[in-house]
Amino acid sequence: MRSLPLPLALTARLSPVVVLAAAGWALSSGPATQAADDPAATQKSGDDSPSAPATAAVSKTYSAAPAPCDSLSAKTVKSLVPGAKSAGKEIPSTDSKLRRTCSWNALKGYDYRWLDVSFEITASDEAAEKSYKERVADKSGGGAVPGVGDSGYSVVNLTTEDKQQTREGVVMVRASNALISVTYSGSDFESKKAPSTDEINKGAIKAAKEAVAALEDGQKG
């Protein structure tokens, strides 16, 4: 079987240089204590009770990102990325405790598939929710994914380069203070066509659900 040249965009993906955004979330808190204007106020008796300390720690459900290459079963990897090694390849991160990504890709015959699974741990549920909403806004045209995490969203897009089609699906999930992102794409280099929207969307959602389950399994802080 003769080998076919890959389109430039896909060739670049085969040896990715991934730069994970180091954007974090600043956790703001009030002053540790507040001086009392009236020292005698601390001696008040009766039903008056002191208020909760202003420095109460923000509750974080998840304190670290799980090992991303262990987040999917070998069976799932085989079905979504035929020919890929189930172990995957973890992408270097600026902070592996908070941000971790694993990638699988393979060309089997003329069919090419690529799958990324990423985890990001934020400072709080509120920070994760804000980031999730911003990311969804940047990926218009998709729809909600029910039954996964606290919020789920998927979108599928088709691109064409040098007459070669590639279809890519992205699923984003918020689970408490964690963000999970799945990117799944495919091309057929013989027909020049891309897999169907349904195939890519269902594959990305399947991977996202497994990734969320891996996060929840023993990751609660």
| Topology (CATH) of 61-216 | Jelly Rolls (2.60.120)
**C-alpha–C-alpha distance, residues 82 and 84, integer Å:** 6
Domain ranges of the chain: 61-216
Output the pLDDT for position 76: 97
Number of residues in the chain = 221
Contact 110, 101 (CB under 8 A): no
74: confidence class by pLDDT, cuts 50, 70, 90: very high
CA–CA–CA angle 149, 153, 129 (5° rounding): 60
Q: Is 136 left (phi over 0), alpha (psi -120 to 50) or beta?
A: alpha
pLDDT tens digits for 84-97?
999 999 999 888 88
pLDDT tens digits for 5-53?
555 445 445 444 333 333 333 333 343 434 444 444 444 444 444 444 4
pLDDT tens digits for 97-108?
899 999 999 999
**C-alpha–C-alpha distance, residues 135 and 137, integer Å:** 5
